[in-house]
């Protein structure tokens, strides 16, 4: 796995993670007696918790920069209209959230799904994913706004913004934490609308132009 990059890395990560959660639940259950009567009473991490710590130390941390880079590449492709596996992106981002859980415990739901449960803590997600995502969003929004401003009239520009925002909101609801969605939308609106408002309004077919023609 350490030699994989890009989409291949994300696909491999998601498969390994799914198997790892099942393995962790099995080990945690096998050592239930140890959990209940020694580790908990000794204020030590339970077996499942320790499994996640080891995964973070041995697998996630050495690859986290490559994982984030691969995610940014896929998100950029999607923003440019290319086909990607949104499910793989969503599952990969979710790993950043699970890695940061406080007192994590591997669980099996009634429908047979294996997952991690614990107290929500977004420190890993914020530091390793969100910061890079928002930086990329700022750069992408600014570049697209500049391009569309120079190649589109006012109605066309507004249509481009509408389509971009709709896609971003759909993706945000699928793979981002709610806090990140709000931050992302503020960046997009600022770069594409606030910063460009005067320029767009003064274009032919823009508000300023139409009002001047009436006078």
pLDDT tens for 29-79 read 999 999 888 998 898 999 999 999 999 999 999 999 999 999 999 999 999
- pLDDT, residue 88, reads 97
- pLDDT, residue 204, reads 65
Indicate whether 213 pLDDT > 60: no
Secondary-structure breakdown of the chain: helix, strand, coil percentages, each rounded to the nearest 5: 75, 5, 20
Average pLDDT value over all residues in the chain = 91
What is the average per-residue pLDDT within 131-152?
A: 95
pLDDT over 70 percentage in the chain? 94
In angstroms, the CA 119 to CA 60 distance is 20
Write down the pTM of the prediction.
0.89
- pLDDT, residue 155, reads 85
187-200 pLDDT, tens digit each: 999 999 999 888 88
In angstroms, the CA 133 to CA 26 distance is 35
> For the ranges 29-33, 100-104, 201-205, which has the lowest average pLDDT?
201-205
User: How many residues are there in the chain?
Assistant: 215
In angstroms, the CA 51 to CA 21 distance is 9
pLDDT band at 20 (very low <50, low <70, confident <90, very high): very high
- pLDDT, residue 153, reads 87
- pLDDT, residue 214, reads 45
pLDDT band at 215 (very low <50, low <70, confident <90, very high): very low
Count of C-beta atoms within a 10 Å radius of residue 123: 11
- pLDDT, residue 93, reads 98
């Amino acid at each position: 796995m350490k030699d994989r990059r890009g989409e291949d890395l994300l696909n491999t990560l998601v498969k390994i993670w799914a198997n790892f959660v099942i393995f962790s639940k099995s080990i945690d259950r096998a050592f239930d007696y140890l959990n209940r009567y020694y580790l908990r009473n000794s204020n030590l991490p339970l077996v499942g918790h320790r499994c996640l710590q080891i995964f973070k130390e041995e697998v996630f941390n050495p690859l986290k920069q490559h994982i984030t880079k691969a995610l940014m590449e896929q998100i950029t492709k999607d923003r440019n209209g290319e086909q990607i596996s949104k499910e793989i992106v969503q599952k990969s981002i979710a790993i950043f959230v699970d890695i940061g859980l406080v007192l994590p415990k591997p669980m099996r739901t009634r429908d047979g799904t294996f997952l991690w449960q614990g107290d929500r803590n977004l420190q890993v997600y914020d530091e390793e994913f969100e910061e890079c995502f928002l930086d990329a969003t700022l750069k992408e929004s600014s570049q697209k706004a500049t391009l569309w401003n120079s190649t589109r009239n006012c109605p066309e520009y507004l249509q481009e913004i509408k389509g971009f925002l709709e896609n971003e909101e759909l993706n945000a609801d699928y793979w981002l934490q709610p806090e990140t969605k709000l931050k992302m939308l503020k960046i997009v609106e600022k770069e594409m609308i606030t910063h460009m408002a005067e320029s767009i309004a003064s274009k032919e077919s823009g508000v300023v132009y139409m009002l001047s023609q009436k006078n």
